[in-house]
Chains A and B, each alone.
Chain A
Amino acid sequence: MKISRITTENGINLVHYYLPSTNSVTASFLFNVGSTKELRTQRGMSHFFEHMVFNGSKKYPDQEKSNTLLEQYGIIQNAWTFKNCTNYWMKSPLDHFKLALDVLIDRAFYPLLNTSSVEKEKSIITEEYHMAKDSPHSIVSREFTKALFTNSLKYSVLGKPSSFQKFTKTGLGSFHKKHYNLENSILWIGGNITLKKTLKLLQPYRLPKGRKTVVTRTSLRKKRKNIAIFKEMPSNTYHAVLGFSGSSIHDSRDQEILSLISYILGIGRGSLLYKSLKGTNSLVSYLEVDYISFREGSIFGIYINSEQKKLIKITTVIREALERIISGKLPSQELERARNLLLSNYLSLQEVSHLFGYSPDLFNMTRRELLTGEKLDYHKKIELLRSIALPDIENTLKEVLRKGRLGISLVGKSDSALKEMSKIFFSLPK
């Protein structure tokens, strides 16, 4: 895989990666705007705007026609809003990439904002909001973020109907003008297309330059009390997240180490928690360890699903696994397994043109550059990953636990186990 990072003559910040084995090309425009950048009256606006982008643009005014134009060639289109970036992407078969790129750029920079579309999206997003409120997994995850952060990270990306029902086309227009420009974005093109051909395709575009957002390093606030949150839901099972807040996306070494720790703990059937929660015991039906970093801090969460009577035992097992790492008792084989699996995932991802999602891959590297200004260097990342040793794992986790905040979020019928869970988890030695 060959990666190039350049700014084109017409000012587009481009990340290009050439993957000759793929059948497609993906273009992904990342904008430095998300829920953490919203004012009180704008809660949910980044996400709302993301929906508006699909309602027609200057060159492609008819929404239905432009969708048909793309989908008649099998082009896949979608967008996601995160806490601090918004990502619009199209994945296209090789022959139709020029069209996909043109629609993507026109939609992101020249969307048509009309009142009837704004009203339509209010109804649709209300249903998206209801869908999230009915999902225990989504609730437990949102509450966990609220438990860990008091800063802007605690706000949900979707916002609330009481907030987004008030949005107008004028407000959305100002929001777009402020955040959607070349200085605030990175275009990411990958797949079976050469850099030369990519540059030729991009050459005709004259896009708004805008003002560069000053990248400031936001340190975590003074450590606050650990928090446990319970939400009652008439679910059959209990959904819980246990975890901690960590350092911000600026600390690239920490990011790699914490990604590796997520593999050591819970990614793969050979991971510490999989072995003890599902292998030797049958304590959980679901286990996921997720690590995601932002400018304002990061979230390390262990997501589980089980019965009420097993929650305390599960908490003890999770605590023991973390203790094992910070006490220097982790066998080197655990690190090797995690590292090999992570590197193997990188290889698999090079067989497809789009590497989206939260996994520690190229997408996250691009996001880091957008948020921190740190230039993307894939080879350095791999080198760093290969150089991580057991003491690095031990010391980083110790440091993160010492500075960060522990949190538990629980969803189910009763909170009777929460007190004991908190007692066990929050007394984790640091």
Chain B
Amino acid sequence: MNVQTRLLNNKTNVILVNKPNILTTSVGFYAPIGSVDDEYLKTGTTTLTLRMLLRGTSKYSNSIKLNTALELLGAKVSLETQKEYSSIVLNVPSTNSYSALGILIDIIKNPLFNKSSLNKERSILRKQQKEKDDDPRNSLVRLHSEQLFKGSKYENSTLGNESDLKNISLKDLTSIHSQFFTKDSFLIITADLSRTDSDRLIEPLEKELGSLKLTRRKDLPLIEACKPLEISHKKNILQPVIAVGTYLPGISKGNYYQSFLLNLIIGGMGFSAKAMKIIREKLRLAYFTYSTLSSYSSLSSISVISGVQEASYKKAIMASKQIFDDLASKGVSREDIRIAKGYIQGSLDIQTESGVGLCRFMGTHLIKRHILITPEKMKREFLKIQKSSLDKLTSKKFTTNYHTTVLAKK
């Protein structure tokens, strides 16, 4: 794999990743704008703005014309809004990469925002919020995140609150769109560059995006840990779903790899993770149990999520807390560290084997951590991790901040 960086005239970075023998080209546009940038009482604006990108452009006046043009080329576009960033990723058979790139540039640069499209997309988003909550697992994850980040801009789901959606105007969309082009925004392209001409890819980017004025990204809001709480929510379901979570330092504190490894050990590496071994296999309390890490700039969180037996849900909460307590009192075992390091070596290979997988992997790390990193380099970073740095993370503070969220019938 070969990585080169080209700079457009306005200093926008274009990263070209050569991945031999792949058949498709992927282009990701990453911008440091996310749901934390939504204004007060206008949550969901960034998500809505991104969705509106596929509702028409200056060349393709409506969503039908635009999406038909893309799909006739076999191109797929996916949109993602996270709390701190957004991305638009195109994947297309390499034979059609130049034509599809032209359309992608039009989507990023010249979206048509009109009232009728806004109303349609707003209505879809509103329904989607409700639909997501119909699944107990989704509902729990949303409630748990609200609890962990209460009072901060990280509290809200990226989809926004239902009542806020009606406050969003065309002007708000334009404002979010204008913040797409910052000094930290970039494009990343993965392709077999022996078959795809990189100059032909750069040329339209330079022409269309190279003269845009770049703005500075607003500072990200600082988050503080909330007072630990145990909150139960009522829902008429057979299987209670529970989340037990605590805080970890944010990405800016430099513990990214350690937090990632810790998440694997707690509940992120299949049957070998503690949650699976204890809550499912030993105590037989759950079918699904895993941990999830939410990494943000100034604070992160790690939570064990499980769907458990109704009669024993308190036992499952205790067992989840015990996993954290044991790590705090005994430290992380060398054996667990060894397994997690091995796991990540293999899973990075697997995660990045497709062109689009590699594009997303490198794009996400660059936008979140401002580090251009290849899977190989990241593997080496993981191997360097010492037990002492993990033990520092699971210090006493780690276990005094439990938040518990329960969704159950009673």
Q: Report which A residues bind B (CB closer than 8 A).
A: 20-24, 54, 63-64, 67-68, 71-77, 91-94, 96, 120, 123-128, 130-131, 133-137, 234-237, 239, 268-270, 274-275, 278-282, 284-286, 305-307, 333, 336-337, 340-341, 343-344, 347-348, 350-353
Contacts and interface: CB of A to CB of B under 8 A. Distances in A.
A123 B309 contact: yes
Given A91-B350, A352-B353, A352-B354, 10 more contacts: A23-B353, A24-B353, A71-B271, A71-B342, A74-B349, A92-B346, A270-B64, A282-B119, A337-B71, A351-B355
Contacts of B355: 351
A95 B160 CA distance: 45
B307 A130 contact: yes
A125 B127 CA distance: 32
A368 B343 CA distance: 34
Interface in B320-359: 338-339, 342-350, 352-357
Interface of B: 19-24, 54, 62-64, 67-68, 70-76, 91-93, 119-128, 130-131, 133-136, 236-239, 269-272, 277, 280-281, 284-288, 307-309, 338-339, 342-350, 352-357
Contacts of B126: 285
A74 B344 contact: yes
B307 A73 contact: no
Contact of A343 (B74, B345, B346, B357): B74
Centre residue among B73, B127, B345 by max chain A CB count within 10 A = B127
Contacts of B131: 236-237, 239, 285-286, 305
Given A337-B71, A348-B354, A351-B24, A134 B339 contact: no
Contact residues of A: prevailing secondary structure: mixed
A284 B127 contact: yes
A129 B318 CA distance: 24
B349 A93 contact: yes
A345 B355 CA distance: 13
A96 B285 CA distance: 32
A286 B309 CA distance: 30
Contact of A268 (B71, B308, B349): B71
The 5 closest A-B pairs by CB, nearest first: A74-B346, A344-B74, A285-B127, A21-B21, A67-B271
B135 A286 contact: no
A234 B237 CA distance: 9
Given A236-B130, A279-B63, A21 B19 contact: yes
B354 A351 contact: yes
12 contacts: A24-B353, A64-B272, A91-B350, A125-B287, A130-B307, A137-B135, A269-B63, A275-B64, A275-B67, A285-B127, A350-B23, A351-B357
Given A71-B269, A336-B72, A348 B91 contact: yes
Contact of A72 (B23, B238, B338, B353): B338
Contacts of A350: 23
A351 B127 contact: no
Nearest to B310: A130
Contact of A22 (B130, B343, B353): B353
A351 B121 contact: no
Contact of B239 (A73, A131, A237): A131
B350 A23 contact: yes
A127 B76 contact: no
Contacts of B23: 21, 347-348, 350-351
B64 A279 contact: yes
A390 to B, nearest CB: 16
Contacts of A54: 271
Contacts of A336: 72
Contacts of B121: 282
A353 B351 CA distance: 11
A72 B342 contact: yes
A278 B128 CA distance: 12
A279 B277 CA distance: 46
A152 to B, nearest CB: 25
Centre residue among A73, A92, A347 by max chain B CB count within 10 A = A347
